[in-house]
Amino acid sequence: MKKPVRVAITGGAGQIAYSLVFRIASGEMLGQDQPVILHMLEVPAALEALKGVVMELHDCAYPLLEDIVMTDDVNIAFSDVDYALLVGAKPRGPGMERSDLLKINGEIFTEQGKALNDFASRDIKVLIVGNPANTNAYITMHSAPDLDRKQFSSMTRLDHNRAVSQLAEKTGVKITAVKNVIIWGNHSTTQYPDINHATINGQPAKSLVEQDWIINEFMPTVQQRGTAIIKARGGKSSAASAAFAAMSHMRDWVMGTDEWTSMSIPSDGSYNIPEGLIYSFPVTIKDGKINIVQGLEIDQFSNKLLIATQHELEQECEAVADLLV
């Protein structure tokens, strides 16, 4: 057995956390030989509800769960933590865009970035899930200047999974037959779900579906899936699929993957995306290092969409400039 690692989850009494923490405690995220200590953060008003989640965690008698820290103090929540999944934030409701949450949630991430900077393990890996996820990650990263930018990411894995699933369903293949789908840009409706490089059982995906379906069905379905789920669930946003995506994102970051996946990470200038912008790229991961897939040909149509989502992210960053260190 390895030495236990500390995993922080914010919004511990929320919907996503309820689908997430049990899987982390069971070893699904970090492996069956990795004991964990969960650090769960909530606002004071939700501590009683969090207590209920903690009771259920105990009732599972997970062999890998060494301890649980339950707190409303962000500094305690992030003390010595090795992994942080920042989920806690207000979700949007019907009729809202994720960017409507910029100001409401932005301040949470300033405070949490500072606490990560001052109290977390120097090797921490941080995943931001709370919306608007990319810009919240940007705020968190800027609030933690002593940590390396490469330690911050936000989640477009759910969009990636949605795209893979839509493509598999359309072409009548298993999920595992679909490779090299990409989500570029922001976790918002301007994201670009790109299948130009995707394959299905080794065949170019584009040769198996019509262009009209890509433009008028596939792309809007993936871009607007969050809204469709909110409508179908009577106002509640996606939770189990978001939790699974968060866990998969972190697991791949730690364990590595040769398969392309999509992660929002600080740009290194690849594909002319300005350095430091938290932008979703196609990536592979080796030894904990996230590598942007290089050398892809970007046609004119795609280039326009890459730039449009970049511009939206730049505007979001401008809107929160007063929160940045």
Task: Name the one range near ligand NAD by CB under 6 A: 85-93, 169-177, 267-275, 309-317.
Answer: 85-93
CB of 202 to ligand LMR, least distance (A): 30
CA distance 183 to 223: 10
Residue 141, contacted partner among ligand NAD, ligand LMR, none, CB below 5-8 A by kind? none
85 binds ligand NAD (CB under 6 A): no
**Min separation Cβ 237 and ligand LMR, Å:** 4
* CB-nearer residue toward ligand NAD: 183 or 200: 183
Q: In terms of residues, how long is the chain? A: 325
* Helices 15-26, 240-255: inter-axial angle, 10-degree rounding: 40
- Sheet with 203-204, strands from edge to edge, namely 178-179, 199-200, 203-204
| C-alpha–C-alpha distance, residues 314 and 308, integer Å | 10
Burial grade of 115 (CB within 10 A; 0-12, 13-18, 19 or more): buried
Q: Are 184 and 309 in contact (CB under 8 A)?
A: yes
Closer to ligand LMR at the Cβ: 71 or 280? Answer: 280
Q: Is 88 in the site for ligand NAD (CB under 6 A)?
A: yes
Q: Are 203 and 197 in contact (CB under 8 A)?
A: no
> Rule CB under 6 A: is residue 91 a binding residue for ligand NAD?
yes
The only residue of 49, 229, 293, 319 in contact with ligand LMR, by rule CB under 6 A: 229
Which residues, in sequence order, are CB contacts of 176 under 8 Å at separation 6+?
A: none
Active site residues: 187
Q: Which does 16 bind (CB under 5 to 8 A by kind): ligand LMR, ligand NAD, none?
A: ligand NAD
79 binds ligand LMR (CB under 6 A): no
User: Does residue 151 belong to the site contacting ligand LMR (CB under 6 A)?
Assistant: no
Q: Any contact of residue 87 with ligand NAD (CB under 6 A)?
A: yes
Residues 46-75 close enough to bind ligand NAD by CB under 6 A = 46
Partner whose footprint covers residue 229, from ligand LMR, ligand NAD, none (CB < 5 to 8 Å by kind): ligand LMR
What proportions of the chain, in percent to the nearest 5, are helix, strand and coil?
45, 20, 35
Integer Cα distance of 314 and 126 in angstroms: 21
Q: What are phi and psi of 182, to 5 degrees?
A: -130, 140
Residue 303's CB is within 10 A of a number of other CB atoms, namely 13
Nearer to ligand LMR, 35 or 226 (CB): 226
Distance CA 205, CA 201 (A): 9
92-121 residues near ligand LMR, rule: CB under 6 A: 92, 98
38, 24 contact by CB (below 8 A): yes
Q: From ligand NAD, ligand LMR, none, which one binds at residue 180 (CB under 5 to 8 Å depending on kind)?
A: none
When binding is defined by CB under 6 A, the residue of 15, 79, 161, 238 that contacts ligand LMR is 238
Smallest separation (angstroms) from ligand NAD to the CB of 207: 30
Site membership for ligand LMR, residue 226 (CB under 6 A): yes
Between residues 15 and 140, which has the closer beta carbon with respect to ligand NAD?
A: 15
Q: Helix axis angle, 157-171 relative to 240-255, nearest 10°?
A: 110
CA distance 62 to 259: 30
What residues make contact with ligand LMR under the rule CB under 6 A? 91-92, 98, 131, 158, 226, 229, 237-238
Which residues make up the interface to ligand NAD (CB under 6 A)?
10-11, 13-16, 41-43, 46, 87-92, 108, 129-131, 133, 155, 158, 187, 237-239, 242
